[in-house]
Chains A and B, each alone.
Chain A
Amino acid sequence: METLQHDIVIVGGGAAGLRAAIAAAQASDALSIALVSKVYPMRSHTVSAEGGAGAALGPDDSPDLHAFDTIRGSDYLADQDAVEAFVAEAPGEIVQLERWGCPWSREPDGRIAVRAFGGMSVNRTAFAADKTGFHLLHTLFQTSLQFDRITRYDEFFVTKLLVEDGRCAGLAAIDLRDSEVRCIAAKAVILCTGGLGRIFAFTTNGSICTGDGMALAYRAGVPLKDMEFVQYHPTGLPGTGILMTEASRGEGGYLINNQGRRFLEGYIPGKMELGPRDILSRAIMQEIEKGHAFQGPYGEYVHLDIRHLGERTIDEKLPFVRELAEKFVGIDPVHEPIPVRPVVHYMMGGVDTDAMGKTRLEGLYAAGETACVSMNGANRLGSNSLTECLVFGARVGLQAARDALEAAVPAANPLAQLAEEEEQRLLSSYLDKRGGGERIAPIRTDLQRTMERGAGVYRTEESLKEAVEEVRGLAERFRDVAMDDRDRAFNTELVSALELGNMLDVAETVVVSALERRESRGSHTRRDHAERDDEHYLKHGLAFARPEGPRMEYADVSITRWPPAERKY
């Protein structure tokens, strides 16, 4: 097998991956950088981010205030050194994107406009209408085109990290055009593959968000950190799960129950609609339990009312909200309230890294939603994730570049051999496999239902124990999977099978981590352990792979200047 040699190989072409590629390319013109992605970069899930990117840009703001909001929002589980780095570098990244041409919305005086967002104590969310992720992604993609030393491998699916002599020295990937397995050797491998929302039934996440990078790292021996913390966004469209951006509340929208009341006054009167996402999602679930929700063909929902903003503001600031609501639920938000309900949106947990994106496996790095730095702790604040991709994408690109300039070229022979073994596994398990009694889709559907039922907004010891057993049972069924498609050309069924394998692995870490955290903190709400328990659980959970299921370890949270306190709004 031919081995493709690069200095750095980045997996994933979303905001974090592209930002890392540009940072590495700028660090030295001697570096050869590969960007491997299972979709064309502009199809990455960053494209769906709507509301904006948070940074202390305004005169009334400061990095310290941004840090405090982030840490309080995290329910004090964020690593404060990582948060301090994040808030310090965030404004520079927003300005950097402006220099690269990002079409930020502007204030009348020409400065980058900022808007209010949940859990943020001042207006600090920079935006490009309500398609911020789309514009940010395209700007990064366009910028990356200017560097000849970035080689793209579009529509390549990475199946294995190649570890040799205790260091990650490359990866095996399938070229979807012909299903050939390629060996890509590198001195540094950076995972930027986004989240895992698709392990749940009802999610804002695109079909591609299947936890691939997390599963790759996990199998290579790197722990997954804080996997119990899954964010529900309070406002998704029933049925499709399409996101109604938090900016609709940032611009002044109301949440209303079937009594016609802004019910948040009973939950978080100090912040109302601008409260953090975990608290608002729980409030809606409680309204549903009280019978204060509307009934619809796709379950119960509450109303997001933006009518009072007026058509002009809606068209200027929230045009995509109007378009999506009209298209997918047949409602014009200028004249009618929008039906919404909580929906899985974001993974706070991920590949355990330090504040430069390094994992404990030499040569392996991660950034963005795939990674857990951790700056989001138990609950991420809206508009911090795009900025996280920029700040930590840039950091990890720079760090990997420095390390790669000093590292030796990995030996091609053992790597090619590892890749050939991987090719044999893929052939015998999928492409050349005969028989099998299980289709992919029913296993995936059962997994999604299991996760929703067992590890949703509210969890109990019992629901989680059941979910652990069910996920393991589904993994057994997956061994008996059958393939319709044995084509070498564009075999999307093979991709679906490999994605399902990844989903099953990361799902197990979610339910086991959630079972072992017997407290309620941020997005993780246990009915049987309703209080936060700093004495036992002011800790990061680390899930290590073992054949019989993950082994849990715990690590301290970095506290610098903000001692844990009651989370009050």
Chain B
Amino acid sequence: MSSHEVWPTPLPEPPLWEEEQMWEEGPPREPGARPRVGPPAPGQIPLSMRIRRYRPEIDREPWWQEATVNMEPSDRLLDALHQVKWYLDGSLALRRSCAHGVCGSDAMVINGRNALACKVLVRDVAPKVTIEPIRGLRVLKDLVVDMEPFFAGYRRVLPFLINDEEPPERERRQSPEERERYDDTTKCILCAACTTSCPIFWGDDEYIGPAAIVNAHRFIFDSRDHGAAERLDILADKTGVFRCRTVFNCTEACPRGIKVTMAIQEVKRAIMFDRM
């Protein structure tokens, strides 16, 4: 299974899993779901997975784990990863929470592209899929990376509403058109798919990255906010927006369909007009 020289599991006794052993029936979400092992049931398809593993206490370097599971075509890739974790190798580490593309936990490199494992369906990748941790952030274990540098960039752009005026007794008014102006960049789920697809970010860990700029944009263009000048100053710095070379990887990677590169360009323009 592994090309790696150090087999990582000190197997518990008695071994719970041997190769070729039939898997127990997978956990159906509800009655009627079918087994995941043996020959695929009608309608199921086999999915061969290559998962990049790294357990820092055991492995000297990363290695590939391979596994084949039978899945419904409409299952999520996250479901397939769960099959591996639940029934083959409990040591596989990944983050997940909502499982429908809104919490931002499970960004991974899937067949070479950044995506959420819960928004990639089995039928979109079968029969083979390669899964790796997102790039440019230190791998803590398997598919789990250190998100702290990513969140540090987010915090730098002052990602909160700045407005020191005495508020009215009721809500501040905002027209639907004003609300629409910053709608696209409110959609960021902080999954880091954009930032970790950016070649500038890979090469330069000072670069604040697309996600931070998207979140700055969300407030800069909110009619209620008064912090634009401060944020534009931060983003005009050498670690800010002008590092962007408009590669568009971020826009392609965004699982929420945010026009990331356009948002970055709008921020660049705001800085230029502001300065000139």
Seen from chain A, the residues whose Cβ lies within 8 Å of a Cβ on chain B are 39-40, 42-45, 47-48, 94-95, 98-101, 103-112, 128, 131, 134-135, 138, 142-143, 145-146, 177, 201-202, 206-208, 238-242, 297-299, 320, 324, 327-330, 434-437, 439-442, 444-445, 448-449, 452, 482-493, 496
Contact = CB atoms under 8 A, between A and B. Distances in A.
Closest 4 CB pairs of A and B: A101-B161, A110-B173, A484-B90, A441-B86
Given A448-B27, A488-B57, A48 B102 contact: yes
B207 interface: no
B97 A206 contact: yes
B95 interface: yes
A445 B27 contact: yes
Question: Which secondary structure characterizes the binding site on chain B?
Answer: loop
Contacts of B43: 297
Question: Which of B31, B121, B219 gathers the greatest number of chain A CB atoms within 10 Å?
Answer: B31
Contacts of B14: 435, 437
B171 A111 contact: yes
Interface residues of B, number: 74
B147 interface: yes
B91 A493 contact: yes
B260 to A, nearest CB: 17
Question: Which of A138, A146, A490 gathers the greatest number of chain B CB atoms within 10 Å?
Answer: A490
A399 B58 CA distance: 47
Given A94-B171, A434-B12, A490-B144, 7 more contacts: A39-B103, A99-B161, A103-B222, A324-B100, A328-B121, A484-B9, A491-B93
B203 interface: no
Contacts of B275: none
A39 B105 CA distance: 9
Interface stretch (B174-182, B228-236, B262-270): B174-182
B74 A487 contact: no
B16 interface: yes
Nearest to A39: B97
Interface stretch (B62-70, B183-191, B194-202, B245-253): B183-191
A110 B186 CA distance: 18
A47 B30 contact: no
B91 A435 contact: no
B160 A207 contact: no
Question: Which of A146, A298, A484 gathers the greatest number of chain B CB atoms within 10 Å?
Answer: A484
A65 B196 CA distance: 50
B27 A298 contact: no
Contacts of A128: 186
B160 A202 contact: no
A493 B16 CA distance: 15
Contacts of B18: none
B94 interface: yes
Given A42-B104, A297-B43, A241 B29 contact: yes
Contacts of A436: 12
Contact of A484 (B12, B155, B224): B12
A382 B261 CA distance: 38
A112 B172 CA distance: 9
A206 B174 contact: no
B91 A485 contact: yes
A108 B177 CA distance: 9
Question: Which secondary structure characterizes the binding site on chain A?
Answer: loop
A101 B30 contact: no
Contacts of A441: 27, 86-87
Question: Which of A107, A111, A440, A485 gathers the greatest number of chain B CB atoms within 10 Å?
Answer: A485
Nearest to A299: B32
A238 B151 CA distance: 36
B100 to A, nearest CB: 5
B33 interface: yes
A484 B97 contact: no
Contacts of B105: 39-40, 43
Interface string B147-173: 100010001000111000001001111
Contacts of B167: 99
B186 A135 contact: yes
B5 interface: no
5 contacts: A201-B28, A240-B29, A240-B100, A241-B29, A483-B12
Contacts of B104: 42-43
A341 to B, nearest CB: 9
B13 A435 contact: yes
Contact of A208 (B97, B155, B173): B97
Contact of A452 (B30, B92, B102, B183): B30
A116 B102 CA distance: 24
A155 B92 CA distance: 17
B103 A330 contact: no
B97 A45 contact: yes
Given A145-B155, A201-B28, A241-B29, A206 B16 contact: no
Nearest to B179: A106
B44 to A, nearest CB: 11
Interface string B58-90: 100000000000001010100000000111011
Contacts of A320: 102
Nearest to A202: B30
Contacts of A177: 140
A142 B170 CA distance: 21
A135 B130 CA distance: 33
Contacts of B32: 297-299
B86 A440 contact: yes
A27 B187 CA distance: 31
B181 to A, nearest CB: 11
